[in-house]
Amino acid sequence: MATPGIRPLVAGNWKMNGSLAMASALVGDIKARHQGGALPVDLLLCPPFPYLAPVGADLAGTAIALGGQDCHVKANGAHTGDVSAAMLADLGCRFTILGHSERRTDHRESSATVAAKAKAALDAGLTAIICVGETEAQRNAGEELKIVENQLIESIPSGANVRNAVVAYEPVWAIGTGKTPTVADVAAMHRHIRALLEQRVPGGGKMRILYGGSVKPGNAAELMGVAEVNGALVGGASLKAEDFWGIAEGAAKSAG
């Protein structure tokens, strides 16, 4: 069983995928499953920015939360193509993902940038999902614990606490590859993250720590049952309602 007293969160990160028709059908299917039997799990959908408004409208009146996939450090200004945390909140978002490895790699985001974005998210009333994770080369070199520790320490802003921040551990080499760390590997990393949070964040002993990286219905219950795993950040599998719901059911089993 995962951490007692912490309600799991299963977040779907759609990344740069979808269309209006796909978004409407996917949300409709997830809503139907949710209405047919709600689980003891919090659900979150994070579509691309253009689809936030229609997905938010489709989710209105449900317990399923809406989130963004990033935000800018500034609340407004001359930042063409960027979206502020305040804008996300204005659209009804309650969360935003920050520091995903694809942002750190594709957009050269440093942990200092992630911390600044997370602070902006907190100031806008959003919950920041702060992502950390090592590359395959770093794990093979035995550096994974130190890499993740440094990312975590440098990415969590002042003001973060159990109510407004979530950590997501995603080994970079497991994202979209079909590779998954062993249960022992996941347990060791989540214990390490928990110890760091307890030292550095108010209420860190109860902050949610998600696992992400090739999570599927077939491995969800086992992964979600690992000590200190409090849900999942789901990529590709969140684009199919059956798979996303299957992962949520796996998380529900871990919640007892």
Which are the catalytic amino acids? 100, 170
Q: Tokens representing 237?
A: 């599998």
Strands 42-46 and 9-13: parallel
Q: How far apart are CA 195 and CA 199, in angstroms?
A: 6
Q: How far apart are CA 134 and CA 245, in angstroms?
A: 28
Which residue, chain included where needed, has tokens 């760091």? 196
CA 256 vs. chain centroid, Å, equals: 22
Strands in 20-147 per DSSP E: 42-46, 65-68, 95-98, 127-132
Q: How far apart are CA 59 and CA 249, in angstroms?
A: 20
Q: Tokens representing 141?
A: 């070199």
The answer to whether residues 130 and 112 touch, using CB atoms and an 8 Å cutoff, is: no
How many C-beta neighbours within 10 Å does residue 38 have? 14
Which residue, chain included where needed, has tokens 């997370």? 118
